[in-house]
């Protein structure tokens, strides 16, 4: 092919000026310090010499801002023999008594707090569960990459993240005849010498001799390694102080963590808790609970873990620019996104032009490019409501059902393994498409799948169960796909990032324990079961750890008594679809939001948990309410999202919002999915695809299953329907993709096809080259060419002896342009 590198510049790159975070005002001038205060929670009592308390000192300024002063004030104690306060605000008890702590800022403003110290002279037993095990978690000893692995590390095993302290006690005290502990001289115990790296340790140095953690473990060993009593109070929850704080870039915030117990007591566990940022590029955490904000505006969360409980601190990091000019506010989506942008001081981009919008909306809703005539007519239309009318037309078109059936079929595992599966996968795909086309309410759509019974030929949703042969997989897919919850971790141990335990896991699994599968009488040649029936047993599951039977239980709900003659799955869907269910509708609107914006309000879209908070909680709640108010109407949800000005923002960031990746201040460009890109190439080249087993002209997004051998779809990341996770579809670019577009026989054959667009344009002697180039731009980019682009291409055509070769070059250049391959 002739070299025409200049034509590749058809779609140029926008080069933005890089603005430093230091150039932004953030919260703005603080003003004068008005007052200081000590933020506390729990009881003002320290019990025993091992107790600690972390102060959080906050300064309030004349601007209304609050800033952390914990490490910048002076501490004075009226009874210094009772307790001491370190410069970082950590209180250490000395003897029993009462003391008043005075905090003094550099300008002389003060605040006081009274504390009581008790039982300091008593040798209180070190609590293994609440004081020893958390140290292993904090130091990383019981993580999945160390001794918390299923088979341990170097002969020593701990339960993952300390979720089963009774096992840890057995491993430490009784295993290997207790050789890890040396009660006669605790400081010479292997349990201390190894993590301190006094003796060689594969995990390196984890603690220093003499530190708080060292002393706690040493005291515990010296006391005879008490295991605690069944009557000990149990941990119910933890609280982080503060829970949320607006912070400037490059500032710090001290946190305090308080544990609440079943007997009403509280304890400061700041120095025993673990801290983990969900976006490490935005926030850095220190072991003592101090966090540092980096240079990216937005919102970041820090997960705080103590034993099986988690809490979240949210750092809101404003950019601080005035947001005065906003695109039109058309829907509640705009209101809530703009409110967030104003809070963060991130000005949004303007609205995209009509050409960009018709291409974006048509691709997002139907998975195909608009025709040249559709693009031309839309650009020329002067009707003020033309965008809403376009959205309505697209949602009502067959293309909507085609594209979203493709999306749902992949995550519903509509997988063909061999020719025997065709009758099932084709029927299931057709059923999905039909439900979407008819706009079946989402709750009914889900109920038809989850409660499917009979044979897969007469009731196609039964095909879902063909790929899910056990109640555990059925439950896990249900939770991930329809509730946005990844529960697989809780099968073997407490979920590391959530409150879900093994009891929760097996309680939810119990809904599926009545399901049985078999091969139908009339399909003996099928390779997998194709009939679902109920086994007649009472719905219940066995917790392998406790060996107790568990009744069907919705997540966070009460167990249900369901007789053997009732299908427990209906009770499960009743719970899921109830208006008060906190997961079902929220998971769906978040999943659809990601489809249209490239990232979820909670991201990943199937990982809704308290430790992965939404970037805009108010927006997610409003979308959930809207979806419920409109009775699970999927088409209405699509229209609502696409009609918003937020969806219609330009993809070209400004120098003031280019760092934003989570607040939707501009449209985030993304690469076209494999099927859509393949159809787009065929659309521009005017050469229909040919797939065996389906009618000629069937588009890639219309394929009923994964069983079509097409290298293009494979190399560009089409999922194989092996998972309920949309992450199976790879959005990443690679060298094989670039080479395939540049010089594969597949693409070249379409360009050189005698019936294709290049040949057609070469034969067309009646129309001017300018007219044909304009039409080609409309086919590929849904816009008219700029004057310099038009001249560049027409000059190339005019200078070429072989006109078809010249048109092939032009189309080839367009197909390799980023503007073509990306949704923007």
Confidence of residue 19 (pLDDT cuts 50, 70, 90): very low
pLDDT at 175 over 80: no
Q: Note the pLDDT of residue 14.
A: 38
Q: Which residue has the higher pLDDT, 705 or 725?
A: 705
Report the C-alpha gap between 166 and 717 in whole angstroms: 45
Q: Note the pLDDT of residue 495.
A: 65
Q: Note the pLDDT of residue 3.
A: 35
| Residue with the two structure tokens 């998975």 | 367
Token couple for 101: 């702590």
Which strands make up the sheet holding 531-534, listed edge to edge?
A: 454-455, 531-534, 515-518
Nearest to 774 by CA among 755, 756, 761: 761
Q: Tell me the longest C-alpha to C-alpha distance in the chain.
A: 103
Confidence of residue 523 (pLDDT cuts 50, 70, 90): low
| Candidate from 99-113, 224-238, 564-578, 792-806 with smallest mean pLDDT | 224-238
pLDDT at 419 over 90: no
Give the tens place of pLDDT for each residue, 339-356. Answer: 999 999 999 999 999 999
Confidence of residue 524 (pLDDT cuts 50, 70, 90): low
Bridge partners, 305 (sequence order):
274, 310
What would the mean pLDDT of 547-572 be, rounded to a whole number?
Answer: 92
pLDDT at 98 over 80: yes
Token couple for 553: 């239980």
Token couple for 699: 């588009």
pLDDT at 178 over 90: no
Confidence of residue 198 (pLDDT cuts 50, 70, 90): confident
| Candidate from 64-68, 220-224, 400-404 with smallest mean pLDDT | 220-224
Q: What percent of the chain has pLDDT over 70?
A: 95
Q: What is the 3 state secondary structure string of 418-482? A: CHHHHHHHHHHHHHHHHHHHCCCCHHHHHHHHHCCCEECCCCHHHHHHHCCCCHHHHHHHHHHHH
Q: Note the pLDDT of residue 227.
A: 84
What would the mean pLDDT of 631-635 be, rounded to a whole number?
Answer: 97
Give the tens place of pLDDT for each residue, 776-787. Answer: 999 999 999 999
pLDDT at 22 over 80: no
Which residues make Cβ contacts (< 8 Å) with residue 458, sequence separation at least 6? none
Report the C-alpha gap between 273 and 39 in whole angstroms: 18
The 3-state DSSP class for residue 228 equals: coil
What would the mean pLDDT of 794-805 be, rounded to a whole number?
Answer: 91
| Candidate from 15-29, 145-159, 245-259, 731-745 with smallest mean pLDDT | 15-29
What would the mean pLDDT of 589-605 be, rounded to a whole number?
Answer: 94
Report the C-alpha gap between 245 and 281 in whole angstroms: 18
Q: Note the pLDDT of residue 544.
A: 85
Report the C-alpha gap between 373 and 387 in whole angstroms: 16
The 3-state DSSP class for residue 56 equals: strand
Phi, psi angles (nearest 5°) of residue 93:
-75, 150
* Angle formed at CA 680 by CA 677 and CA 686, multiple of 5 degrees: 145
Token couple for 647: 């969806």
Pair type for strands 290-293 and 309-317: unpaired
Dihedral sign of CA atoms 586, 589, 591, 597 in order: negative
Q: Note the pLDDT of residue 11.
A: 40
What would the mean pLDDT of 597-611 be, rounded to a whole number?
Answer: 88
Q: Which residue has the higher pLDDT, 320 or 60?
A: 60
Q: Note the pLDDT of residue 229.
A: 83
The 3-state DSSP class for residue 238 equals: strand
Pair type for strands 83-85 and 110-118: unpaired
Which residues make Cβ contacts (< 8 Å) with residue 520, sequence separation at least 6? 455, 456, 457, 526, 530, 531
DSSP state of 790: H
Q: Note the pLDDT of residue 560.
A: 93
| Residue with the two structure tokens 């010498």 | 193
Q: What is the 3 state secondary structure string of 255-302? A: CEEEEEECCCCEEECCCCCEEEECCCCCEEECCCCEEEECCCCEEEEE
Q: Note the pLDDT of residue 391.
A: 98
Give the tens place of pLDDT for each residue, 430-483. Answer: 999 999 999 999 999 999 999 999 988 889 999 999 888 899 999 999 999 999
Confidence of residue 576 (pLDDT cuts 50, 70, 90): very high
Query: How buried is residue 499: exposed, middle or buried, by Cβ count under 10 Å (0-12/13-18/19+)?
Result: middle
Nearest to 631 by CA among 482, 481, 437, 440: 440
Ranges assigned E (strand) in 297-398: 298-306, 309-317
Report the C-alpha gap between 812 and 792 in whole angstroms: 15
Q: Note the pLDDT of residue 736.
A: 85
Pair type for strands 244-246 and 309-317: parallel
| Candidate from 18-27, 291-300, 573-582 with smallest mean pLDDT | 18-27
Q: What percent of the chain has pLDDT over 90?
A: 58
Q: Note the pLDDT of residue 17.
A: 41
Report the C-alpha gap between 523 and 526 in whole angstroms: 6
My answer on whether omega of the bond before 604 falls inside 30° of 0, hence cis, is: yes
Confidence of residue 522 (pLDDT cuts 50, 70, 90): low
Q: Note the pLDDT of residue 399.
A: 96
pLDDT at 18 over 60: no
8 A C-beta contact, residue 565 and residue 554: no
pLDDT at 521 over 80: no
Give the tens place of pLDDT for each residue, 41-83. Answer: 889 999 999 999 999 999 999 999 999 999 999 999 999 999 9
Report the C-alpha gap between 460 and 464 in whole angstroms: 8
| Candidate from 155-159, 574-578, 651-655, 662-666 with smallest mean pLDDT | 155-159
What would the mean pLDDT of 573-592 be, rounded to a whole number?
Answer: 96
8 A C-beta contact, residue 467 and residue 411: no
Confidence of residue 16 (pLDDT cuts 50, 70, 90): very low
Dihedral sign of CA atoms 535, 536, 538, 539 in order: positive
* CA-to-CA dists, residue 93 to 70, 259, 328, 572, angstroms: 19, 18, 59, 52
- For residue 542, give the H/E element and its range: strand 541-542
How many residues are recorded in the chain?
Answer: 824
- For residue 258, give the H/E element and its range: strand 256-261
Q: Which residue has the higher pLDDT, 91 or 488?
A: 91
Report the C-alpha gap between 192 and 218 in whole angstroms: 8
Nearest to 463 by CA among 452, 451, 473: 452
Average per-residue pLDDT in the chain? 89
Q: Note the pLDDT of residue 493.
A: 64
């Amino acid at each position: 092919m002739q070299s025409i590198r200049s034509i590749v510049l058809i779609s140029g790159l926008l080069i933005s000026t890089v603005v430093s975070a230091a150039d932004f005002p953030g919260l703005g001038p603080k003003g004068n310090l008005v007052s200081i205060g000590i933020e506390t929670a729990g009881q003002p009592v320290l019990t025993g010499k091992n107790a600690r308390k972390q102060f959080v000192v906050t300064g309030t300024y004349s601007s209304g801002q609050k800033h952390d002063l914990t490490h910048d004030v002076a501490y004075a104690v009226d009874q210094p023999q009772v307790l001491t306060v370190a410069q970082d605000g950590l209180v250490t008890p000395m003897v029993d008594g009462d003391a008043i702590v005075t905090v003094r800022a550099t300008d002389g403003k003060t605040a006081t707090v009274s504390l009581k110290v008790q039982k300091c002279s008593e040798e209180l037993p070190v609590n293994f569960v609440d004081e020893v095990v958390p140290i292993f978690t904090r130091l990383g000893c019981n993580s999945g990459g160390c001794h918390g692995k299923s088979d341990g590390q170097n002969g020593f095993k701990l339960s993952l993240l300390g979720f089963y302290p009774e096992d840890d006690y057995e491993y430490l005290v009784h295993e290997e005849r207790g050789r890890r502990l040396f009660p006669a001289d605790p400081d010479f115990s292997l349990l201390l010498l190894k993590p301190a790296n006094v003796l060689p340790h594969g995990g390196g140095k984890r603690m220093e001799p003499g530190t708080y953690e060292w002393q706690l473990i040493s005291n515990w060993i010296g006391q005879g390694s008490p295991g605690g009593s069944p009557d000990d109070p149990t941990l119910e929850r933890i609280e982080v102080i503060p829970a949320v704080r607006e912070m400037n870039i490059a500032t710090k915030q001290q946190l305090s963590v308080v544990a609440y117990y079943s007997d009403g007591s509280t304890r400061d566990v700041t120095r025993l808790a673990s801290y983990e940022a969900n976006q490490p590029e935005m926030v850095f955490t220190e072991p003592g609970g101090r966090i540092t904000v980096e240079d990216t505006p937005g919102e970041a969360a820090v997960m705080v873990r103590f034993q099986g409980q988690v809490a979240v601190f949210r750092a809101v990091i404003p950019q601080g620019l005035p947001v005065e000019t906003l695109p039109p506010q058309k829907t509640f989506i705009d209101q809530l996104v703009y409110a967030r942008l104003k809070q963060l001081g991130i000005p949004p981009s303007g609205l995209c032009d009509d050409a960009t919008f018709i291409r974006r909306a048509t691709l997002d809703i139907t998975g195909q490019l608009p025709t040249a005539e559709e693009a031309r007519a839309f650009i020329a239309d002067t009707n003020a409501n033309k965008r809403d009318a376009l959205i309505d037309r697209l949602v009502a078109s067959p293309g909507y059902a085609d594209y979203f059936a493709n999306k749902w079929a992949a995550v519903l595992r509509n997988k063909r393994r061999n020719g025997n599966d065709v009758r099932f996968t084709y029927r299931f795909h057709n059923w999905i498409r039909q439900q979407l086309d008819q706009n079946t309410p989402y709750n009914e759509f889900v109920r038809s799948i989850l409660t499917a019974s009979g044979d897969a030929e007469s009731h196609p949703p039964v095909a879902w169960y063909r790929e899910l042969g056990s109640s555990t997989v059925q439950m896990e897919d249900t939770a991930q796909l329809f509730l946005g919850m990844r529960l697989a971790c809780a099968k073997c141990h407490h979920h590391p990032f959530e409150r879900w335990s093994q009891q929760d896991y097996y309680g939810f699994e119990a809904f599926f324990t009545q399901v049985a599968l078999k091969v139908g009488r009339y399909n003996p040649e099928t390779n997998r079961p194709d009939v679902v029936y109920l086994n007649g047993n009472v719905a219940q599951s066995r917790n392998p750890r406790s060996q107790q039977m568990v009744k069907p239980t919705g997540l966070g709900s009460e167990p249900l008594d369901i007789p053997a003659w009732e299908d427990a799955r209906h009770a499960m869907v009743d719970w899921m679809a109830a208006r008060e269910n906190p997961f079902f509708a929220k998971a769906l609107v978040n999943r659809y939001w990601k489809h249209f914006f490239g990232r979820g309000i909670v991201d990943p879209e199937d990982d809704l948990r308290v430790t992965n908070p939404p970037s805009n909680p108010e927006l997610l709640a409003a979308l959930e309410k809207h979806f419920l108010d409109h009775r699970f109407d999927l088409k209405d949800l699509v229209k609502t999202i696409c009609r918003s000005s937020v969806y219609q923002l330009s993809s070209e960031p400004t120098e003031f919002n280019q760092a934003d990746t989570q607040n939707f201040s501009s449209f985030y460009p993304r690469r076209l999915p494999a099927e859509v890109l393949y159809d787009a190439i065929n659309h521009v080249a005017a050469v229909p695809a040919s797939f065996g087993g389906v009618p000629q002209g069937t588009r890639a997004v219309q394929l009923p299953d994964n069983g079509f051998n097409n290298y293009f779809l494979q190399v560009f990341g089409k999922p194989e329907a092996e998972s309920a996770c949309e992450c199976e579809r790879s959005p990443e670019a690679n060298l094989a993709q670039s080479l395939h577009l540049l010089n594969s026989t597949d693409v070249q054959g379409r360009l050189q096809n005698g019936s294709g667009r290049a040949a057609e344009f070469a034969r067309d002697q009646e129309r001017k080259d300018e007219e044909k180039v304009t039409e080609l731009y409309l086919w590929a980019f849904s816009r008219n060419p700029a004057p310099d682009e038009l001249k560049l291409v027409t000059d190339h055509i005019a200078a070429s002896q072989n006109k078809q070769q010249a048109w092939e070059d032009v189309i080839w250049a367009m197909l390799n342009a980023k503007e073509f391959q990306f949704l923007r």
